Amino acid sequence: MRNEFEHKQFAHCESGVVSTLLSFYGLKISEPMAFGITSSLSFVYLPIVKINGLPLIAYRELPKNIINKISKVLGIKIKTEKFKDPIEANTRLTKLVQDEKKLVGLQTSVFYLPYMPEDMRFHFNAHNLLVYGKESSKYKISDPVFEEVVECEESKLMRARFAKGAFAPKGFLYYPEDIRQNIDFPKALKKAIKKNAKSMTTPFPFAGVKGMKRLAKKIENLYKEDIKYIQLFLTHIVRMQEEIGTGGGGFRFLYAAFLKEAKEYGLDNEMLDTASSLLLKSGNTLREFALLCVMGSKKIESLDLEKISDKLHEAITYEKEAYSILKKI
């Protein structure tokens, strides 16, 4: 059963799009629930994987984690399609939204979306948005980072759907096909929470809490590098944390909201409340950490790398305690 389409602005594109899609097709799911029930909270610091010549730093699971996992977690069917030919991809999208009146999710490049302000454009190929109609050669778009709906010429959208590089979209589109209503949410929630807590306390040295510690140590040792590299590294942290999706702090706020919502399904209220509060503290601390990185990169003469590292260690303390609690759910 389809509901009336309603555009909403969200904290993060993928969780926002999945929330709107499922709600439209008959299963009311909030953005925090879409994010949390797919165990999408993460941290990775991988020096061997480079982004513009600097280490990969991620605060959430890889793009498509929510899209790919929501089907398995909830036992529903999401139709996904990729294309080699942009013309074929455009024809298919037109048929779905114009002829079949479907609401469709797309993966695109931020850089090639013409309605994006210049200062928001960068080469990130995993931006999700919704297409809800088409008039003449213009698609009607609900982009979760905007307050209002927008329009986009099909030629421009095609370019954004077939951008090259990391996470190349390849015309990827998706929409629900079969949504069941008798979902055992308490069981799914317990499993998702414990899984996420375990992934954040993994023994792998470059992921989870251990990965955060590695990054803190790297920051402490940046004094061995030249000034230019220090500035690039600190600004890179901020970009990866605060500009990709909702950023490190934002993802913690989103997960904290998910834990609050999980209480409605009969899970341990006290444990969830405590863990939620700890992750809110971590989110706020990560925002302060990002601010220190910005200030340090701009005022290099008063740079205090130990202070920046200590702020990250503060967030680590909150997160470590939160996950130790959540593993017991």
pLDDT for 3-39, tens place per residue?
778 899 998 899 999 999 999 999 999 999 999 999 9
Average pLDDT over residues 228-236: 95
Could you give the CA distance from residue 158 to residue 102 in angstroms, rounded to a whole number? 18
pLDDT at 246 over 60: no
The answer to whether the beta carbons of residues 284 and 249 sit under 8 Å apart is yes
Residues 55 and 173 in one domain: yes
**In this predicted model, what pLDDT tens digit does every residue of 159-174 receive, in sequence order?**
999 999 888 999 999 9
Q: pTM for the full model?
A: 0.92
pLDDT band at residue 248 using 50, 70 and 90 as cut-offs: low
Could you give the CA distance from residue 321 to residue 9 in angstroms, rounded to a whole number? 32
- What is the DSSP code string of 29-41? --HHHHHHTTT-E
Residues 103 and 38 in one domain: yes
Residues 116 and 244 in one domain: no
% of residues, the chain, pLDDT over 90: 81
Could you give the CA distance from residue 245 to residue 255 in angstroms, rounded to a whole number? 14
Strand order in the sheet with 104-108: 77-81, 173-178, 104-108, 127-135, 138-142, 150-153
Residues 49 and 159 in one domain: yes
Residues 157 and 26 in one domain: yes
Tokens of 69: 């996992």
CATH classification at residue 94: 3.90.70.10
Residues 37 and 146 in one domain: yes
Domain boundary, last residue among 147, 178, 209: 178
Could you give the CA distance from residue 7 to residue 149 in angstroms, rounded to a whole number? 7
% of residues, the chain, pLDDT over 70: 98
Residue 266: predicted pLDDT: 86
Residue 301: predicted pLDDT: 86
Average pLDDT over residues 69-82: 95
Residue 53: predicted pLDDT: 87
Q: What is the mean pLDDT of the chain?
A: 93
Could you give the CA distance from residue 187 to residue 135 in angstroms, rounded to a whole number? 44
Domain that holds residue 74: 13-178
Residues 94 and 217 in one domain: no
Average pLDDT over residues 233-237: 94
Residues 155 and 43 in one domain: yes
- CB atoms under 10 Å from CB of 162, counted, come to 22
Q: Give 191's contacts (C-beta < 8 A, 6+ positions apart).
A: none
Which candidate, 290, 306, 310, places its Cα nearest to that of 298?
A: 290
Domain boundary, last residue among 143, 178, 213: 178
**In this predicted model, what pLDDT tens digit does every residue of 194-224 receive, in sequence order?**
999 999 999 999 999 999 999 999 999 999 9
Could you give the CA distance from residue 33 to residue 262 in angstroms, rounded to a whole number? 8
Q: Which residues of 177-198 are buried (b: 16+ CB within 10 A; e: fewer)?
A: eebeeebeeeebbbebbbebbe
**Residue 85 is assigned to a structural domain of this protein:** yes
**Residue 3 is assigned to a structural domain of this protein:** no
- CB atoms under 10 Å from CB of 25, counted, come to 19
Q: What angle do CA 39, 258, 262 make, to 5 degrees?
A: 100
**Residue 154 is assigned to a structural domain of this protein:** yes
pLDDT at 148 over 70: yes
Residue 1: predicted pLDDT: 57
- Measured N-to-C along each axis, helices 65-74 and 13-24 cross at an angle, to the nearest 10 degrees, of 40
**Residue 8 is assigned to a structural domain of this protein:** no
Q: What angle do CA 219, 125, 37 make, to 5 degrees?
A: 75
Which of 204-213, 242-251, 283-292, 307-316 is predicted with the least confidence, judged by mean pLDDT? 242-251
pLDDT band at residue 327 using 50, 70 and 90 as cut-offs: very high
Residues 18 and 136 in one domain: yes
Tokens of 73: 């977690």
Residues 161 and 209 in one domain: no
SS3 197: helix
**Residue 244 is assigned to a structural domain of this protein:** yes
Residues 147 and 294 in one domain: no
| Distances in whole angstroms, Cα of residue 236 to Cα of each of 135, 198, 244 | 40, 28, 11
Could you give the CA distance from residue 134 to residue 140 in angstroms, rounded to a whole number? 5
pLDDT at 247 over 80: no
Burial class of 306 by CB neighbour count within 10 A (0 to 12, 13 to 18, 19+)? exposed
Residue 121: predicted pLDDT: 78
Residues 52 and 151 in one domain: yes
**CB-side exposure of 125: number of CA atoms within 13 Å?**
15
pLDDT at 104 over 80: yes
Give 119 or 67, the one with higher predicted confidence.
67
- CB atoms under 10 Å from CB of 24, counted, come to 21
| Distances in whole angstroms, Cα of residue 279 to Cα of each of 107, 132, 282 | 29, 35, 5
- What is the DSSP code string of 143-157? -TTSSS-EEEEHHHH
Q: How many domains does the chain have?
A: 2
